[in-house]
Structure 1
Amino acid sequence: MEEVDKILIHALKQVGDVPEEVDSVKLFSSELVVEAVVSCLRVIDPGLGQGLPTSLPPGMSARFRVGMSLAQACQDIGYKGELGYQTFLYSSEPEIRSLLMFLVEKLPRGSAESSDQSTKSMLLHKGIAAAMKAELAVPWLPLNCREREYHRDLLPPVTCQISHQPGVVSSLLEQHTAECSAAQEWNHEWNNQGLLSRLTPHQEYRLRKRCRLRQRIEEQLRSAAQSSSDTGSHSASDLSDLLQTFKGHSSNAHMLTKGSHFNHTQKFTFTQEAAAPCPLPQSLPSEGNNQLHQQEELSSLQQQLQQLCSDVDQLTTELKHRSVTTAQVLNDINKRDRENEMKRDQIQVKKKTMDLLPHAEENLHKIQALVETSAKRVLSLAAQWEKHRAPLIEENRRLKEICRIQDMESSGKLSEIRSLHDKITVCTEEAKKKEETYKQLVSELESLPQDVSRSAYTQRILEIVSNIKKQKEEIFKILSDTKELQKEINNLTGKLDRTFAVTDELIFKQDAKRDESVRKSYKHLAALHENCNQLIQTIEDTGSILREIRDLEEQIESENGNKTVANLERILEDYKAIRQENSVLAAKV
């Protein structure tokens, strides 16, 4: 029974939680029996096992109801043995072993659920181990070396970052006002000018705007450098160096040369604007006047730019309007051309008809002759067509039949291919599951102690199998001996009956009524036969009594194994608990 218990406990560990110290069915408590049975029922029939609790409630009446529910559920799935609430509340080792063997045999072999659960648990353990290894491999950094954590947890507020606090509020308000003003100016400019340029707001439009501004600054610097060189100013070299610096970035000015008609028009306009001479001061009296003059020029240039942009927008709108008008005019012209072509054809037909009117009779006869000739030709062509049509129809039918047969064959092959694909998919999934199971078993094998050899388990299994074979051979030998003894007993009984009948007949023929010695012999024979029958009956009764004694001894042993005394004590305790519950309920009522 130890091997059977180990197999049962191993199977129960696959579907439920069995403590490691439990290695025999004898150690199963009522709570553990209920948990194991419910776990097996949930795997065998999820709909039946979901409504069953995995533990016994504290109240005795509720325990009896749970025991009856479990007994009914086990009987619903096909258990034929005697089963009731007492099996779970006052469990005996043979009944529990029989029930657990039945449930383990009912478990689906290699079920998808158990394999998926084992696979998920294995993957979860592996993921946790990998995450822990990754976390341990990352070097530790203090909190102040992490940027986000530093700004969130360690960086002091703005009011504490500077020593001169009276100017903090005004600085923050000025910064916020500048950002809001810049954002409003950008939105206004983009809504008025940027949307019409058909460029992206953050790349092409800003780049083009930057290039135009660089070109204007470069033209202003070139003009200022030329005027400074003409006047012999000392700042001519500085302006030349600054101009060379701007020339180094001139390659970016041609990044948007290809584009729409609007881009080319605007480029042409700005080229003309750059080529136009700008009035420059003849002298630079001071740096402040120069800056003031440059600001005035910049403001005037911005006004000119705005005016040019508005002119370009107006021209673009007018161009779009004229393009739409031109398309409509072209459509009208095409429509009128088609109408004229139709009218021209009608006029040509009418003209030919008018030409035929002066010789109407002659032309009518010609038309009739032409019609008759055409009809005869049509009839001859129809006859020729019928001659060719019949074999073509037959050929068409034959080809259609061939196509139908081929379609049926192709559909059959297609269904076979689909079934093969389905089988391949199923086999692939099974292979994946088996591969995962194999990996899990390999990992479990690696985790097991390596000092235990497989040959010992194999030898143990072979010894158990040989012992079972020997036991079967001994049982068959005992059965054959019993059959031989029964057969011999039957033969002897029949022989005894036949001998008595023959002896009785021989003695009775010698006139037992008249001869006294013969009569005594007959009496002694009858008494001997009766004594022999009594002796045989006594032997049979002795054998039956010995068998009953043996059965009673086995029952005594089984009752001793069933823990009858302990169960009786538990029953008495449960009875007292029920009486107490009933008294509490009666008091409440």
Structure 2
Amino acid sequence: MEEVDKIIIDALKHLDCDIGDDIQSLKQFDADMVVNAISTCLEAVTLDVTLPKRLPPSMSSRLNIASSLAQHIKDLGFRGDMGYQTILYCNEVEVRRVLMFLIERLPRESIKNIPAEEMGYVPKIIKIIEDKIKDTVRQVWIPSSLLKYGIREYDGGYLVNSLGNSCPLLNENLDMPKSRNKDEVLKQYWIHNLPDVTRQCSPRKLIPSLLFKDSRFLKNPDLLNTIRKQSENISLDDIQNMKITLSSGDVNADVKMIAGKEETGEKIIEQEKENRIIDVANELEAIKLKYIALQEVTKNNELQLSQLRIMKNEEQEVLKNTLSKVKLKTKTLAVINKEENMAKLKNIIQNASDRLVELANQWNEVQTPLLDEYRSLQNTLTTEEAKMQEEQQKLNNMKETYQKLVEDLREKSLLEKNLIQKCQQLNRNNNRSAYTRRILEIIGNIRKQNDEIQKVLKDTREIQKDINNLSGQVDRSFTLSEELIFSDAKQDETARKAYKLLAALRDECSSILKAVTDLGLAERESRNLQEQIENEKSKEIAAKLERVNSDLEQIQKETQSLLKQS
């Protein structure tokens, strides 16, 4: 099969398939390469169809693409077992069969058979861009707002497109040192007590706070001039007369006294805001107190209501018990001293019992023969069904075997005819002559194998014929010997012993022949089982199951991620 694989790979390379030079056989093909090869062949066979050349990462998209390719192949007349599993979990034999089927249907004069070197650089780039756009359009688009942090996979990497980490422009008033101010007290405060800018607000509010303060002062030059005039009116004597201590509380108080005038404009605005906030807080507190009081009243009412319901249920139970007792006593008083009623009831009960016994006897008389007949019919039906099922199973197995043999024979005959026709129609160039030589070698090998098989069959028939002749000679010899010895065995004791030994020898020879025949049958069954084992191993069931399990886990992960995103 190596020569066949080389022919298939060479044909795929002429169709501009992306196959590396290190790929020498179809056994090295993976799912992506199989999809690329099948899509290229289908596009060459049906010119008005455009198919994806690669499998997407999403498992559901993979299944859709594989099912679509399988349907296209079936539409072309492929008669073998073809489905998405043939493409996603294929083995060497299935890939070879499908690619040979597609290559046989390629047109002889196709545009796609032109070598890739004839295409210029710009057309190549345009073709790559078109393929990228087609692949992108076929994929399911998910909005960036539904993705976690707006991250999506793209061409082996990741693309970030998200506004999920944005936040509103919130600012705070920051206390920062001023380089132009040379007061030592303020410098000591800035050095030892003033927190860093990054600690005065949260990281998200830091940049808005810095930008807002700068822009506010730039847009309000009058406020800046007022603050500067007020700071110039402060004398150095006022600052020097203040008590400076090492405690942070005193330093903060002194700094607030000195810097108070500098921030007078800001405090006026802040004071108004604080007054509004205090008023709203007071109103909210009053409403909260009213709400708490109403909650207490509601709880008390609910407690009283539950107690009343419990009392009501208890009273209803007492009433039910009392009514039942009254009814019982009423019935008892009605029955007391009523001997006639007792006698009537006994007669009714006796009559009902007799009637019931009579009906049971009648039913048994009718039921017994019917049950026996039913059981016999059921046993007969079960036996017939078992026989029918066994015969049906044998018939189905024979039909399947016959169909497989007929299909294999038809495929091989068709393949041989096509190869012979192509060999006759090929031109006399180097590549085609090499193909012709390889095909003729393959056909010669097939004929040699066929001749060897026929020779083995002929030898087998001759051996079987010899065995039958020898068996007949042995039987005739034993029969003649028995007739000759039997006539003398009536009078001679030695002849009688010889007759017994001859009979024992005949039985032993028969058992030996039977053992040899059984051994041959066992060897033939062993060879058949070995061939079946090799066929099952070639299907690579274990590897396919591992791939199916991994794909199932991937589908479950994708489902969970989509559920989380939704």
Normalised to the residue count of structure 2, the TM-score between the two structures is 0.37
Rg larger for: 1
- Greater share of helix residues, 1 or 2? 1
Please give the TM-score of this superposition, normalised by the length of structure 1. 0.36
